[in-house]
Amino acid sequence: MTNDTAWAPPADVTPEQACPIAPVVDIVFSRWTTPILWVLHEFGRHRFVELERRITTITPKVLTEGLRRLERDGLVVRTYHPEVPPRVEYEISELGRRLAPLFAALAEWSVNLGEVEQARLDYDARKPISSRRT
């Protein structure tokens, strides 16, 4: 900010509503959304089975749900080709492509994961098991 006054949300706004990135995190960073978007961004258009092969730990049901949610949010485009057998392809939309800088920044930050792991090990080593809480 350029002035000395800190921004404060209106009194009737919950902490969740006050955080401007919370809705973005809810949309983009669910367990399977990020890998689906990453694959479509990095490798282009895919059929369902191709996505299953690239994201080996996802179940067909969860992949279907994720693709539907991403299509509903406008981040993925589903194209149905009326052939025999029918062919369906998924690709990242223009709106989804606008997430590229966010993914690039996160990929750049990932060099810090070793420090995160070390911090976890240090924390776990000094904290008695009986006082650990989830």
Whole-number Å distance between alpha carbons of 102 and 100: 5
pLDDT at 79: 97
Whole-number Å distance between alpha carbons of 6 and 27: 28
Question: Please, what are the domains in the chain?
Answer: 15-103 (1.10.10.10)
Whole-number Å distance between alpha carbons of 132 and 29: 27
Q: Cα torsion for 111, 114, 116, 122, to the nearest 10°?
A: -160
Whole-number Å distance between alpha carbons of 12 and 18: 10
pLDDT tens, the chain, 134 aa long: 455 556 666 677 776 677 888 888 888 888 899 999 999 999 999 999 999 999 999 999 999 999 999 999 999 999 999 999 999 999 999 999 999 999 899 889 999 999 999 999 999 998 776 655 65
Q: What does DSSP assign to residue 129?
A: G
Cα 61 to Cα 8, 54, 65: the distances in Å are: 42, 15, 6
Question: What pTM, to 2 d.p., does this model score?
Answer: 0.74
